[in-house]
Chain A
């Protein structure tokens, strides 16, 4: 028989306001096994915990019931208290009389009645509790970073600098991500490439970092500390270790009209290409959908001009299998498609562009060598209209856009407008805004400079429609403060398109069993207190895959994620959760139902010998649970038809006892 102590918490007035705590502790005194029952203002406080510890010693308690807040809040606290008093921590049960009782009831009578019932259920369960000991699992001291933009680069560098090996998987031929495509960065206006490329070189030269470029994650198995990952290294038809990046193949390739992704299709590249001059790794890649040799076997010029002999038309995709202790997601973002915004004529005129296209148009390495020329006729635009919030802050039911604020657009539009006025003072620049949101260090000052020093015309209102007419774009918009409808003949229109998570994020989340919100941003373990961890153990979040962010915020989060990874990798062993499934082999009929429903692949079957009463040996097929992989979800216990599978700490008998106590 257990000797149980009951401790009812007031939580100030949170519980005591709607639950008669004294009546609860009194009522539970007469429950079977209960030898001590009390109540206190704040059980989680040091004084409250001391009450528990003293009672354990004084009354020789073997089990504890704390009637308080959700176990998510303080179960760990009270388990530690029990352990400090010499009890097994799994002899503690929490009756949630706050979130599930006092907070949802207004009436003291019903609240108290329910609290007593919840307390009785917890007592009934503790009567059947057994001490549990968590298992341990080793930690593979290597991290995987998925995505090689500034977020992935910073995370990888920080982990590698702490002495742990890191692999970066990047789906494009080079690392660098979106930041490599930017021209200048707000609010200091330093050139993006100048601050990014040294970091890319650091990554390439770091002894602890391997880059798998042009590669994608195919499969993820295992669990925190012990992930098994399959990475597909796509064939680039160039031997990476031999190619010197001299570019002779690119120069001689006859396929010249392939839209250049790096410049967002505003100019062309060859079938064999190096995305940009500072690419890392600086290795050529052959685009199999464009290369004549790969499509029809007729060409082979690149192979002839390559003095290093790096071209390999027979190269195949390669599958790499590696073990990791931690995985960091840094999959980044893309601007949304403008196809559904007919009113802005994006698909009708080449002179309506997105802000990312504008970045390439003003970049010295871009399609116009940094001269601001409009795409249709390469003339200098004299009137430029910037439209903010295109596809951001849309109603949830509007199919075209996103509900959230994309956060970065106000600042980059101010930057674009300012730079245009600085380089080309003869240009009229209009910015149509709904609100200007500039909460950041030196951000509002930056925006004010655009208005006050550079004469950018900020107009509160939205553009209603854009009609291409001749070589002009007729812009019709409202000026809310002047209460006028404006008609502007623009030469170039720049749309601040909303940003969305990269398309690869969703399938990756499925592989990781990591949760996402409805917008496909990864969910953090706690929105305030654990912002860089996914709820899935061992998976960490870096950069815009978690929500819209600018570069400083991305880099901060990247380093924070790295700190969390390092904290995990320095451990030699991880303590597991002892509340895992365990089969009763004598009852198991070998049906495989549990194996099929297990989401973690924790269950396998073995043929096991069982001694029989007649001294013979029978071989039967029985389930085995890998304690390191099992997460204790309980799906198998439901699927098991013979009742052989049970969840430690949540045995069927304990659950039934709880239900009985409630229904009594």
Chain B
């Protein structure tokens, strides 16, 4: 593995607390993912690409923001790999690089919609803030 990739991999692993080598490649995360069709890289691919240090393509992918952070993959993974946490860690490294939050608590009230589930608000914070 290239040194830069190695470094990025260990950074993502440290930040997420996820051990991608626990994955047994069953694909249950992608089988359960409700945003599957919206994503360029699917949950099982996230895990595999982080494991092999191939993180560069993930950084520029829209998939980072398509993940609903519903954590269904985390709940159902038979190996306890927690793919959504990996997605989040990759996303954070992008947001941090740009050096700005995309969302502050003050922005929330005007965006609220009575039908919006609580989980979506939490998810938005996960996706657009440090």
Contact = CB atoms under 8 A, between A and B. Distances in A.
B30 to A, nearest CB: 4
B25 interface: yes
Query: What class of interface size applies to chain B in its complex with A?
Result: 20 to 34
A343 B70 CA distance: 14
A579 to B, nearest CB: 46
Interface residues of A, number: 21
B79 interface: yes
A485 B77 CA distance: 16
B45 to A, nearest CB: 8
A580 B7 CA distance: 60
B79 A464 contact: no
A465 interface: yes
Contact of A395 (B25, B33, B79): B79
Most A CB contacts (10 A, CB to CB) among B24, B27, B30 go to B27
A463 interface: yes
Most chain A CB within 10 A, of B22, B31, B72, B77, is at B31
A485 B30 contact: yes
A476 B32 contact: yes
B37 A485 contact: yes
Interface string B25-61: 1111111110011000010100000000000000000
B80 interface: yes
Interface in A470-490: 476-478, 480, 483, 485
A467 to B, nearest CB: 11
B96 interface: no
Contacts of A398: 78-80
Interface string A362-398: 0000000000000000000000000001000111011
B25 A434 contact: yes
B31 A478 contact: yes
A508 interface: no
Contact of A476 (B24, B31, B44, B81): B31
B31 A465 contact: yes
Given A434-B24, A478-B30, A485-B30, A464 B76 contact: yes
Given A483-B42, A485-B33, A485-B36, A464 B28 contact: yes
Contact of A477 (B25, B31, B44): B31
Interface in A231-276: none
Interface in B77-92: 77-81
B30 A464 contact: yes
A463 B76 CA distance: 10
Interface string A137-162: 00000000000000000000000000
Contact of A465 (B26, B32, B42, B78): B32
A85 B30 CA distance: 70
Given A462-B31, A464-B29, A476-B31, 19 more contacts: A389-B78, A395-B78, A395-B80, A398-B79, A461-B27, A461-B31, A462-B26, A464-B28, A464-B30, A464-B32, A464-B76, A477-B31, A478-B28, A478-B30, A478-B31, A480-B25, A480-B30, A485-B31, A485-B37
6 contacts: A395-B77, A398-B79, A464-B72, A478-B30, A478-B31, A480-B44
